[in-house]
Amino acid sequence: MGAAALGVGVLATTGLDVICKKQILCSVSNDKGWASQVHLSWQQDPARSLTVTWRTAKTGSAYAEVRPAGDKQWTRVQARSSAMPRNGVLPRRGAIHRATFSGLQPQTDYEYRVSHDAATKATTSEVFRTRTAPPPGPQTFSFLFFSDTGTIGRPDGLTEGTRKVRDFMIASDAAFLLGGGDYAYGDADARAADPAIVADEWFRQWQPLLSRVPLMAQYGNHESFLRESLSDWLPRFSHPRGYRDGRAYSFDVGNAHFAAMYAPGDGYVPPPDLLDWLDKDLGAARRRGARWLIVYQHDSIYGHGLSHPANPRVRAALMPIFDRHGVELHLSAQDQNYERTYPLRTATPEAAIGSRHPDTYRASEGTVYAKVSPAGKMSERTRDFSLLQGSQPPQVAVRSDRGHHFARVTVHGDDRIEVSVFELLRGDAEPTVLDHFVIHGSTVDPSPAPGPQVGTSRHASLAP
Ligand SMILES: [Fe+2]
């Protein structure tokens, strides 16, 4: 199928490659044999391993090297390579390489580099620097949650916040990132006919952050449907296998357990075996002694926006599982606005509200549901954010459909989880803190939540 038949006049093909012209995304032809799309994640223990994934033109003989920061001696690890997935409409080439460094020390700085293809002038990439996760136990660490990004520079203007959100995240000292899905929006980017090229571009644009901070990505409707598919996205991200092909998985950092649940939206209701996987996974984590259970997924549990309201069937399927295991925090995406509930229990429409305090809770009071979206890209349906409908439901404590959002969560050992949600208003240069709340562990803290006071004017700080 030619580019003209797709209505994309700027894109043409010759053989297996793509020619760059003017504004189109040039990922495939520009990278040649050079390593690109370098990103980190964890397939094994976050405290003692790192997995690096990258792309070159050819499969085979790829490797990565690691050393403690400041050392001279590199340790080489052979990569596993696979052909680039062929999602999209155009023939393409390239390889994805994946190497895991293991036997590392927790909470330690490391340097690493990856190989180019043999025919390039240099053998290895620039040196990247990163840090392993804290060890098991009551550690203090921070992570960021983000979703619904799109790629910088889209001609329709809907990704007007993406660069700014990304750059603020780059300035963060977070230990890792949770991705809520909907990254590239390959089906809706007029610069390329092939959604996979847009995915290439997304990894290129986010390499400055993802080559330094591990990303544990979950998948949205845009990675599952809409001319993209899980078969394209699953090989690009590297994480534990979990359920079936890896679309749902879990991992532990410090005393927190993270479950990346597959619930991509667009009418998808998790099937019984996926619900069973989640139920058993959370139960096993509690039995191992996890103090905090944090679940994240694309589709929201409480969402009242015009573009992507929550699916009551998803809520009814999942909330009893969250209740059973006392999940403290649930993070979601999809509906391009922010909504955060009080701690809730039960899956009835009038879910029991455990506390009406504005920002300070006990873990025993229920699950707090925070839908944190978008991290740069507005809704195609409204050409705006997803506008909130009706009056504020009683379960919802804070909401806003006026800006882009991302969250920083700090786990303070067994004591508390502290959540700050940043809002970048359209056209603003810097985000401010929209919402800040604390979930306490076993002890009751009668004092107001420490940290930024909501409602005052201040610029965001991403320091802990
Ligand atoms: Fe979505």
The model's pLDDT over 361-406, given as tens digits with 9 standing for 90+, comes to 999 999 999 999 999 898 888 888 889 988 999 999 999 999 999 9
CA atoms of 334 and 222, how far apart (whole Å): 10
Asked, for residue 452, whether it belongs to a domain, the answer is no
Distance 378 CA to ligand 1 centre (A): 11
Asked, for residue 5, whether it belongs to a domain, the answer is no
Lowest mean pLDDT among 89-103, 211-225, 384-398, 450-464: 450-464
3-state DSSP assignment of residue 243: strand
Distance 169 CA to ligand 1 centre (A): 21
Within this chain, do residues 175 and 122 fall inside the same structural domain, yes or no? no
User: Is the sign of the CA dihedral 189, 192, 194, 196 positive or negative?
Assistant: negative
Asked, for residue 84, whether it belongs to a domain, the answer is yes
Q: How many CB atoms lie within 10 A of CB 102?
A: 13
Distance 222 CA to ligand 1 centre (A): 6
Asked, for residue 427, whether it belongs to a domain, the answer is yes
Distance 136 CA to ligand 1 centre (A): 33
From 59, 63, 55, 61, select the one nearest 31 (Cα to Cα). Answer: 55
CB 373, CB 405: distance < 8 Å: yes
CB 336, CB 405: distance < 8 Å: no
Distance 130 CA to ligand 1 centre (A): 30
Q: Domain containing 108 — which CATH number? A: 2.60.40.380
Within this chain, do residues 102 and 153 fall inside the same structural domain, yes or no? no
Distance 182 CA to ligand 1 centre (A): 5
Query: Does 12 score more than 50 pLDDT?
Result: no
From 363, 404, 345, 439, select the one nearest 158 (Cα to Cα). Answer: 404
CB 265, CB 310: distance < 8 Å: no
The model's pLDDT over 66-86, given as tens digits with 9 standing for 90+, comes to 999 999 999 999 999 998 876
Asked, for residue 446, whether it belongs to a domain, the answer is no
Distance 380 CA to ligand 1 centre (A): 10
Last residue of a domain, one of 113, 131, 149: 131
Within this chain, do residues 303 and 360 fall inside the same structural domain, yes or no? yes
Distance 262 CA to ligand 1 centre (A): 12
Distance 386 CA to ligand 1 centre (A): 11
Distance 279 CA to ligand 1 centre (A): 24
Model pLDDT, residue 195: 81
Total domains, the chain: 2
Q: Please give the residue range of the domain that contains residue 75.
A: 29-131
Distance 183 CA to ligand 1 centre (A): 9
Using DSSP bridges, classify how beta strands 50-56 and 95-101 pair: parallel, antiparallel or unpaired: antiparallel
Distance 266 CA to ligand 1 centre (A): 8
CA atoms of 344 and 324, how far apart (whole Å): 12
Model pLDDT, residue 30: 53
Distance 202 CA to ligand 1 centre (A): 16
Distance 371 CA to ligand 1 centre (A): 12
- What's the angle, vertex CA 375, arms to CA 371 and CA 381, rounded to 5? 80
Model pLDDT, residue 3: 33
Asked, for residue 71, whether it belongs to a domain, the answer is yes
Within this chain, do residues 146 and 291 fall inside the same structural domain, yes or no? yes
Asked, for residue 271, whether it belongs to a domain, the answer is yes
Within this chain, do residues 125 and 144 fall inside the same structural domain, yes or no? no
Model pLDDT, residue 90: 58
CA atoms of 227 and 194, how far apart (whole Å): 9
Within this chain, do residues 342 and 194 fall inside the same structural domain, yes or no? yes
CA atoms of 104 and 45, how far apart (whole Å): 10
Within this chain, do residues 127 and 171 fall inside the same structural domain, yes or no? no
From 403, 345, 380, 418, select the one nearest 141 (Cα to Cα). Answer: 418
Last residue of a domain, one of 93, 112, 131: 131
Within this chain, do residues 126 and 158 fall inside the same structural domain, yes or no? no
Hey, what are 462's tokens? 């991403």
3-state DSSP assignment of residue 222: helix
CB 330, CB 292: distance < 8 Å: no
Distance 382 CA to ligand 1 centre (A): 14
Distance 335 CA to ligand 1 centre (A): 7
Distance 84 CA to ligand 1 centre (A): 24
Distance 298 CA to ligand 1 centre (A): 7
Over range 106-119, report the average pLDDT. Answer: 95
Over range 244-257, report the average pLDDT. Answer: 96
Distance 303 CA to ligand 1 centre (A): 12
Within this chain, do residues 120 and 157 fall inside the same structural domain, yes or no? no
Residue 48, burial from CB neighbour count under 10 angstroms (0-12, 13-18, 19+): middle
Model pLDDT, residue 187: 81
Over range 294-306, report the average pLDDT. Answer: 95
Query: Does 2 score more than 50 pLDDT?
Result: no
Asked, for residue 451, whether it belongs to a domain, the answer is no
Within this chain, do residues 157 and 237 fall inside the same structural domain, yes or no? yes
Distance 144 CA to ligand 1 centre (A): 19
Q: Domain containing 332 — which CATH number? A: 3.60.21.10
Distance 387 CA to ligand 1 centre (A): 15
Q: How many CB atoms lie within 10 A of CB 68?
A: 13
Hey, what are 27's tokens? 């990922």
pTM: 0.90
Per-residue confidence band for 307, with pLDDT thresholds at 50, 70 and 90: confident
Within this chain, do residues 188 and 44 fall inside the same structural domain, yes or no? no
Distance 224 CA to ligand 1 centre (A): 10
pLDDT above 90 covers a percentage of the chain that reads: 66
Distance 148 CA to ligand 1 centre (A): 7
Last residue of a domain, one of 131, 153, 177: 131
CB 450, CB 461: distance < 8 Å: no
Query: Does 461 score more than 60 pLDDT?
Result: no
Identity of the amino acid at 439? I
Distance 334 CA to ligand 1 centre (A): 4
- What's the angle, vertex CA 268, arms to CA 263 and CA 270, rounded to 5? 60
Within this chain, do residues 338 and 381 fall inside the same structural domain, yes or no? yes
CA atoms of 89 and 11, how far apart (whole Å): 12
Distance 227 CA to ligand 1 centre (A): 13
Identify the bridge partners of residue 399 per DSSP, sorted by sequence position: 339
User: Is the sign of the CA dihedral 396, 394, 368, 386 positive or negative?
Assistant: negative
CA atoms of 417 and 406, how far apart (whole Å): 16
Mean pLDDT of the chain: 87
